[in-house]
Amino acid sequence: MTGLTNSIANLSIESQQEQSQSLKPESKASLLLAWQVKNKHCLVIGGGDVALSRILHLIRANAKITIITGSSYIHPEISQLNEQGKIYKLYQRDYKNSDLTMYENINRNLDLDSINESNYKSITQSVFNEVFDIVCCCIDDYKLSELIYYQCKYLRLPVNIADKPTLCDFYFGSMINQDNLQIMISTNGKSPRLSRMIKDEIAKEFENIDLNKAIDNLGLIRSRLREMKLINDDLVTIDTRMTWIKTLTDFFTLKQWSELDLIPPSSKPPYDNRFKYIDNIINYFPDYPPKDYQEFKEKILEEDE
């Protein structure tokens, strides 16, 4: 009976473990991505405050923005942005079903098996000039908003219906923007105000740090390493490159990286010394420059005698 008892005990333990797993709260996190909409068509339906906030996000991302404002109210700042040439097209009228496909002239004769390099140009043309990359609906008509959502789903268009988290493929979180640096805080549509408060608290931590300069410095080192030492794109080279730059990045704090002037103040022709300090760092590869910050500056930023 001992074997049977052990088996029953094991089954009981497994059952408890499965039950414990089932009681764990389901993750409600979203997949946060840096979505590239540069030079791609994006549609905003609405002309009020929420529409304006979406438009400002899209302008920052260099999208080609088409706006259907509705026939009643249009935010004066939206009109101003249009006058400044920052809007691709603006229609002061109500939404029409055909708006979702207004630019489409797609060749549907291709199948996936037949696509080859000769088709790449026409596919790129379609992506950038004929299809909306995202749709943002910012109107207070729930029935019309719901219809637009399902129209977008039928057309396989990613859509955000303002103030309706269940009708959103993506959310607009609170953003910290410093040129190359973007930090997004999202509450998955539950509390936009709270996400803004969190954003403000994070921003305070970096008030006296030029994070964009730190990014530029490390970006130059990374690109120069690829140009000078690790040119190939095989897996071993990529791993070596990533490991080296990751280790170097961890040498110093954000503030220290932001205070380094890695481009010489002048470059006298015909000798362009733009990469002089960067190359001083790269020339240590596969070893590393000094880990002590003061010694690093003395070695890397030294001038020719």
Give me the pLDDT at residue 303, please. Answer: 57
Percentage, residues of the chain above pLDDT 70: 87
The residue-averaged pLDDT of 177-199 equals 83
Give me the pLDDT at residue 191, please. Answer: 84
Q: Which of 140, 163, 179, 292 is catalytic?
A: 163
Contact by Cβ (8 Å): 62, 88: no
Give me the pLDDT at residue 74, please. Answer: 95
Contact by Cβ (8 Å): 77, 98: no
Give me the pLDDT at residue 305, please. Answer: 38
The CATH number of domain 41-106+117-172 is 3.30.2320.30 = no
Rounded to whole angstroms, the Cα distance separating 79 from 63 reads: 17
Sign of CA dihedral 295, 300, 303, 304: positive
- Helices (H), ranges, the chain: 2-23, 49-60, 76-83, 120-129, 142-154, 192-205, 211-228, 235-249, 254-259, 276-282, 293-300
pLDDT digits (tens, 9 = 90+) for 123-137: 888 878 889 999 999
pLDDT digits (tens, 9 = 90+) for 47-69: 999 999 999 999 999 999 999 99
Report the interhelical angle of 76-83 vs 49-60 (nearest 10°). 30
**Residue 111 known to be catalytic:** no
pLDDT digits (tens, 9 = 90+) for 4-23: 445 544 545 555 555 555 55
Q: What is this structure's pTM?
A: 0.70
40 Cβ contact list (under 8 Å, min separation 6): 63, 64, 127, 128, 133
pLDDT digits (tens, 9 = 90+) for 232-267: 778 888 898 899 999 999 999 999 999 999 988 765
Q: Quote the DSSP letter at residue 168.
A: B
For the chain, which residues make up each domain, given as ranges? 41-106+117-172, 212-300
Rounded to whole angstroms, the Cα distance separating 67 from 87 reads: 8
From residue 195, give the alpha-carbon distance in Å to each of 42, 161, 171, 206. Answer: 24, 18, 12, 17
The three-state DSSP-derived secondary structure of 96-145 is CHHHHHCCCCCCCCCCHHHCCHHHHHHHHHHHHHCCEEEEEECCCCHHHH
The SS3 of residue 267 is coil
